[in-house]
Amino acid sequence: MSVHPTLIPLLNDMAEARVLCVGDIMLDRFISGDVARISPEAPVPVLRIREETEMLGGVGNVARNLAGLGVKPALIATVGADVAGATVLEQLEALGVEASGLVGDSGRPTAIKTRYLAGNQQMLRADKEETGPLRPATADALVTAVTSALGACAVLVLSDYGKGVLGDGRAKALIDAAKDAGKTVIVDPKGNDYGIYAGADLVTPNRKELSEASGMAVGGVEDAVVAAQGLIGRHGFGAILVTLSQQGMALVTADTSLHVPAEAREVFDVSGAGDTVVATLAGALAAGAEMADAVRLANAAAGIVVGKVGTAAVYAAELVSALHHEDISRAEAKVLTLTEAMDRTQVWRRQGMKIGFTNGCFDLLHPGHISLLDQARATCDRLIVGLNSDESVARLKGPERPVQGEAGRATVLASLAGVDMVVVFEQDTPLQLIAQLRPDVLVKGADYAKDQVVGAKEVESWGGRVHLAELQPGHSTTATIERLSNGKAGGKAGGADPK
């Protein structure tokens, strides 16, 4: 691994970091399905739609990544008075992103990028957007919002997608204002004229963008260093970080360079990877990191996000696991939040894997549980276990349960080779979890009839099936606890572990 576990404390420090994100926001839509025939109406494939998702794009994805890393971001951008704009605001609020600076413009629709996917292949991208100059009132409102918000942040991120927010000299004006306020400025650039970002502390082009802006061919690291130093000399940048795909990243200043090799990972989708890099850099620098350490952390984050699907984000737990993968418990790495689980299952689906799901309290794991889990794993390529939270178990089983807290129960389950993921849920039933994860196989014990299994109707509605596993007689957590309480098996059981 090219990064050292001593970078992990940076992630804790990020919880106190404040980053202001300004730029073009959009809604990324992904419509996924299968293609089995050509249309009789025209020589085009027919996509049988199986799933539709919406994610924050542009500067919204930067804020989403910051929130996933534990940073408290604020965001300033423009949205239209439309359904897509309302969705953007709803998603930002769900992430805890400060979005009071979101400027509405009824004359300018919210940008939407719709991608149509068949298996691993993107078939088509359709963009709905307005890229002309902002109306004067909208532009003034944006500048006022940024000026007011600068004092509360350590780093300003300008995410330019060429949609107008940072046009007409606003990028340079905001950079000057931030520098006057003593703030660090990171720019994710667009176009060939980098003079509009003059004075920024860090600019983050990819290979193609650097080549176009410098007018030089950029084939490898040495070319990137020469091209970047030319731009630094012309525009007074503090540094340029060039992302070079499989060659990793190069951090270049006026007189030094640092090459960080790419992490060796299978690449599924590079959509939004640049946003992840910018967000990680911003969070690390806002937390007081040295530039080189911030770059190494961003490189590790990029290695994770390209293994996901769509405009994805990286989460602090994933980054800790990647940085410290030889020492961290592999079991802990399998215990995911719902958002993380949805990202992971999308990758599995893109790999053509069949996903199974079962659920329970799993308080005091016994041979009956192991048999159920083994049978469940035999039905699928990847097995997800939904685990009732402590509060949920108490409601179902009584106030003395669980004997073992949810953290302990999750770790024990995740340590089993046949369990690929554990997700704790707060509800009394896993219906909401099933609806979000959409497993191909739903497994429950044969003491249930199929029409009694929670989620059976839903799983079958999207083409999945229900499997009723045989039960091993003579095993019961409740009976075991009663024996312990009666002193027949080594004394009284203790209380639940702390969370």
Residue 452 CB coordination number (10 Å)? 9
Residue showing tokens 């990020």? 14
DSSP bridge partners of 421: 384
Q: Which whole number is the average pLDDT over 164-171?
A: 95
- In this structure, what token pair is assigned to residue 93? 């609020």
Dist CA 452 CA 429 (whole Å): 12
386 neighbors 359 (Cβ within 8 angstroms): yes
What is residue 286's predicted lDDT score, i.e. its pLDDT? Answer: 95
Dist CA 76 CA 102 (whole Å): 5
Q: How far is CA 392 from the centre of its chain?
A: 27
Q: Provide CATH 3.40.1190.20 ranges for the chain.
A: 5-328
Dist CA 277 CA 257 (whole Å): 18
What is residue 27's predicted lDDT score, i.e. its pLDDT? Answer: 96
Q: Which whole number is the average pLDDT over 151-175?
A: 96
Q: Decide: helix, strand or coil at residue 336.
A: coil
DSSP bridge partners of 344: none
Instruction: Give the DSSP letter of residue 216.
Output: S
Q: Provide CATH 3.40.50.620 ranges for the chain.
A: 333-485
H-run or E-run covering 238: none
Dist CA 310 CA 268 (whole Å): 9
Would you call the peptide bond into 109 cis, given omega within 30 degrees of 0 as the criterion?
no
299: left (phi over 0), alpha (psi -120 to 50) or beta: alpha
H-run or E-run covering 443: strand 441-445
Locate the DSSP E strands across 130-288.
155-159, 184-188, 202-203, 239-243, 249-252, 257-260
150 neighbors 181 (Cβ within 8 angstroms): yes
Level-2 CATH architecture, domain 5-328: 3-Layer(aba) Sandwich (3.40)
Dist CA 205 CA 185 (whole Å): 14
Percent pLDDT > 90 in the chain is 64
What is the per-residue burial (b if ≥16 Cβ within 10 Å, else e) of 173-203? ebbebbeeeebbbbbbbbeeebebbeebbbb
Q: Decide: helix, strand or coil at residue 429.
A: coil
387 neighbors 414 (Cβ within 8 angstroms): no
Q: Nearest-5° angle of CA 162, CA 168, CA 172? A: 90
Q: What is the dihedral of CA 476, 482, 487, 489, to 10 degrees?
A: 10
Q: Decide: helix, strand or coil at residue 426.
A: coil
φ, ψ for residue 390 (rounded to 5)? -60, -45
Dist CA 243 CA 442 (whole Å): 42
Instruction: Give the DSSP letter of residue 259.
Output: E
- Which residue in 148, 141, 142, 140 sits closest to 178, CA to CA? 148
Q: What is the dihedral of CA 430, 27, 354, 340, to 10 degrees?
A: -60
65 neighbors 280 (Cβ within 8 angstroms): yes
- Number of residues that make up the chain: 499
Q: In this predicted model, what pLDDT tens digit does every residue of 241-283 receive, in sequence order?
A: 999 988 889 999 999 999 988 764 544 444 557 898 999 999 9
Q: What is the dihedral of CA 286, 79, 25, 336, to 10 degrees?
A: 80
DSSP bridge partners of 188: 159
Q: pLDDT at residue 494 above 50?
A: no
Q: Hey, which residues are catalytic here?
A: 275
Q: Nearest-5° angle of CA 139, CA 142, CA 146? A: 145
Q: Which whole number is the average pLDDT over 368-386?
A: 94
Q: pLDDT at residue 497 above 60?
A: no
What is residue 318's predicted lDDT score, i.e. its pLDDT? Answer: 75
Q: In this predicted model, what pLDDT tens digit does every residue of 390-418 receive, in sequence order?
A: 999 999 988 888 888 888 889 889 889 89
Which CATH number applies to 333-485?
A: 3.40.50.620
Q: With bands split at pLDDT 50, 70 and 90, how would you rate the model's confidence at 421?
A: very high
- In this structure, what token pair is assigned to residue 407? 């953290």
Dist CA 438 CA 428 (whole Å): 18
- Looking at every residue in the chain, the average pLDDT score rounds to 87
Dist CA 304 CA 62 (whole Å): 15
Radius of gyration of the chain from its Cα atoms, rounded to whole angstroms:
25
Q: pLDDT at residue 472 above 80?
A: no
Q: In this predicted model, what pLDDT tens digit does every residue of 317-363 receive, in sequence order?
A: 777 766 655 444 556 678 898 988 988 898 788 778 999 999 999 98
Q: In this predicted model, what pLDDT tens digit does every residue of 258-267 receive, in sequence order?
A: 998 876 454 4
Q: In this predicted model, what pLDDT tens digit does every residue of 1-53 receive, in sequence order?
A: 344 556 777 788 888 899 999 999 999 999 999 999 999 999 999 999 988 98
Q: Decide: helix, strand or coil at residue 480.
A: helix
What is residue 328's predicted lDDT score, i.e. its pLDDT? Answer: 44
φ, ψ for residue 99 (rounded to 5)? -125, 25
Q: With bands split at pLDDT 50, 70 and 90, how would you rate the model's confidence at 493?
A: very low
Residue showing tokens 């590790």? 300
- Which of 379 and 403 is assigned the larger pLDDT? 379
